[in-house]
Amino acid sequence: MEANLKAETLKILGDQTRLRVAYLLAASKRSLCVCEIVDSLKLPQYQISKSLVILRRAGLVGVDRNGTWGYYYPKTDQKTNTILFDFVKEYCIGEPFDGDLTELSKRLALRDGGRCVVGFVPEKELQKLIRKKTAAV
Amino acid sequence: MEANLKAETLKILGDQTRLRVAYLLAASKRSLCVCEIVDSLKLPQYQISKSLVILRRAGLVGVDRNGTWGYYYPKTDQKTNTILFDFVKEYCIGEPFDGDLTELSKRLALRDGGRCVVGFVPEKELQKLIRKKTAAV
DNA sequence: ATGTTATATGCAAATATGAGCATATAGACA
DNA sequence: TGTCTATATGCTCATATTTGCATATAACAT
């Protein structure tokens, strides 16, 4: 299969929010729950949701639904996507990408059995929850 | 110096015309005259001109002026640019990119001493001019 | 000077896009 | 049933972008 870069695709990634989401998915090699993305980027839920719809319509990401929860992942069925995600992962440097990734890793610490088990977590409560969880283990 | 990919930059390339121009500049490893780009892409002159302004404002291309003639080239003073142009060059495949490049190579055949010496050339006259030139040599 | 040519740009209309907010949907669970 | 909660979506407004056309600029030729 041959990669084929199109202007349309670049346009999709040519938006700060969508690029941040794409970076998060590219950099963390796993599916992410919508609420984890929202908490990592600290943007309104509807913005993330809309960004994901657009990324999905462009064939860049896919979703596994688990009840009300949605797990998004970078689609790698087309070589172009793989190349693009690698590119994004490698060259999106500094803020806000670094910070987003840091927030994500904190959020991922709350997972249980590899699954997201909490919804939106306000920043203030995140530390508390993490401490509780580490204590429990 | 460190590459740093920004959404803004991707947005610039997320436009068909601008991407075609960028590809042409990336693929032909030399400065191109505006009229050569216009003839290669077969788009209105003002569209090319405006695209070039935007690419230039984004720091992606530079220009050498020679009288009324303008020679544009991909800027490589930032690593991000180099990487992006390589990326575009490698992964923009098929139409319209291939056709644009073919047209360009025909147009470049009209150069004299490495310089563009004709302005806009309607498709019909291009073959005629090329034949005349080859005969002269 | 006058005309010609290469390139840039100002403007107006059409269209697209993003932000924000409210609300819908739909699954989980009491 | 009713109530949460996660996610999606419809709507409006403001703003940005694209397109097309006409024209400006500026160098060159005669």
pLDDT tops 80 at residue B60: yes
Confidence of residue A1 (pLDDT cuts 50, 70, 90): low
Give me the torsion for CA of A48, A5, A87, A20, rounded to 10°. -10
Is residue A2 assigned to a domain?
no
CB B71 within 8 A of CB B24: no
Report the SS3 class of residue A19.
Answer: helix
Tell me the CATH number at A78.
Answer: 1.10.10.10
Please identify among residues 14-43 of chain A the ones whose CB lies closer than 8 Å to any CB of chain B.
14-16, 18-19
Is residue B48 assigned to a domain?
yes
Total domains, chain A: 1
Q: Which residue is listed with tokens 């984890």?
A: A36
CA of A17 to C1' of D27 (A): 46
Quick one: which H or E segment has residue B33? strand B32-33
Is residue A1 assigned to a domain?
no
Is residue B1 assigned to a domain?
no
Confidence of residue B137 (pLDDT cuts 50, 70, 90): low
Is residue B83 assigned to a domain?
yes
**Beta bridge mates, B72:** B32, B63
pLDDT tops 60 at residue A137: no
Report the SS3 class of residue A42.
Answer: coil
- In this predicted model, what pLDDT tens digit does every residue of A71-113 receive, in sequence order? 999 999 999 999 999 999 999 999 999 999 999 999 999 999 8
Quick one: which H or E segment has residue A105? helix A97-108
- Predicted pLDDT of residue B136: 67
Strand C closer than 7 Å to the CB of B21? no
Is residue B2 assigned to a domain?
no
pLDDT tops 90 at residue B69: yes
CB A4 within 8 A of CB B93: yes
pLDDT tops 70 at residue B1: no
- In this predicted model, what pLDDT tens digit does every residue of A32-81 receive, in sequence order? 999 999 999 999 999 999 999 999 999 999 999 999 999 999 999 999 99
pLDDT tops 90 at residue A127: no
Q: How far is CA B1 from CA A91, A93, B78, B81, in A?
A: 12, 12, 7, 12
Is residue A132 assigned to a domain?
yes
Is residue A80 assigned to a domain?
yes
Range of the domain at A22: 7-136
Please identify among residues 85-104 of chain A the ones whose CB lies closer than 8 Å to any CB of chain B.
87-88, 91-94
